[in-house]
Amino acid sequence: MDRSMFLSLALASLLVGVVSAGDWNILNQLKGLRSSSSQNGAVVSSGVKTNLKGYCESWRINVEVNNIRNFDVVPQECVSHIEDYMTSSQYKDDVARAVDEVVLHFGSMCCSKNKCDGMDAWIFDIDDTLLSTIPYHKKNGFFGGEKLNSTKFEDWIRKSKAPSVPHMKKLYHEIRERGIKIFLISSRKEYLRSATVDNLIQAGYYGWSNLMLRGLEDEQKEVKQYKSEKRTWLTSLGYRVWGVMGDQWSSFEGCPLPKRTFKLPNSIYYVA
């Protein structure tokens, strides 16, 4: 076989592989690259048939691994699937597994209560990391099916009734009792400080070193920029950030990078 024929066959093989991979890409539906339809409870996309549960679980997983970004709402056919997951024992188990990994991370840390110099730090997000917004979605029947109404959501926040996320209160206090300083960096607005503090204390969280909320100067910034700037400020003071835990990728993006990041599951909404 001469060289030109070999190259032609190789190129053809590559193109076939690309088309096949594209056929399985769930994002094709969102981009409108190929048609999608529903037949007898199944989703047909690019000629590939899958059941609705499988399709929605694939969508959820792709959100969690940050392949699907910047979505405004959950696909309508998947809202009930997301609700089922976020209110399930599987969600609680997944949070527990993330907590277990944090505890294992402690084993690699040089800081212990007797050795800490006061400059070891840990960062938590608040919504759906320490405090759960699931009761809000249950009451309003959203679970991502509609764009979040910020006015309505802030009215709910002011009631200070959000429960703690499963397993997180125990982890929070285990970190605090190790002598590590806890910093809370949230995208909540500064005018919600009083309600946020009340809710955190009622849910069993206390003893943090600083609670950072978005002031007027931060409101025009993307959340990832705002949180990155707060981490920069902490490290400029000499703090060693051993880990960041949140439910949104925007909690981790940007510099400086912490030693470890731990993401909790949340496919109800996306915050950039």
**pLDDT per residue over 33-82, tens digit each?**
444 444 445 555 544 446 899 999 999 999 999 999 988 999 999 999 99
- Tokens 């000629």, residue? 47
Domain housing 217:
68-263
Is residue 136 a contact partner of residue 155, using CB atoms and an 8 Å limit? no
Question: 121 lies in a domain?
Answer: yes
Question: 118 lies in a domain?
Answer: yes
Mean pLDDT calculated for residue range 161-189 = 96
- Tokens 């991502």, residue? 144
Q: What gap in Å lies between CA 91 and CA 44, rounded to an integer?
A: 28
Q: What gap in Å lies between CA 181 and CA 175, rounded to an integer?
A: 8
Question: 235 lies in a domain?
Answer: yes
* 2 vs 249, more confident: 249
Question: 10 lies in a domain?
Answer: no
Question: 92 lies in a domain?
Answer: yes
**Which CATH number does the domain housing residue 153 bear?**
3.40.50.1000
Q: What gap in Å lies between CA 226 and CA 232, rounded to an integer?
A: 10
pTM here is 0.80
Residue 110 Rama label (left phi>0; alpha psi -120 to 50; beta): alpha
Q: What gap in Å lies between CA 125 and CA 227, rounded to an integer?
A: 10
Q: How many domains does the chain have?
A: 1
Q: What gap in Å lies between CA 178 and CA 194, rounded to an integer?
A: 27
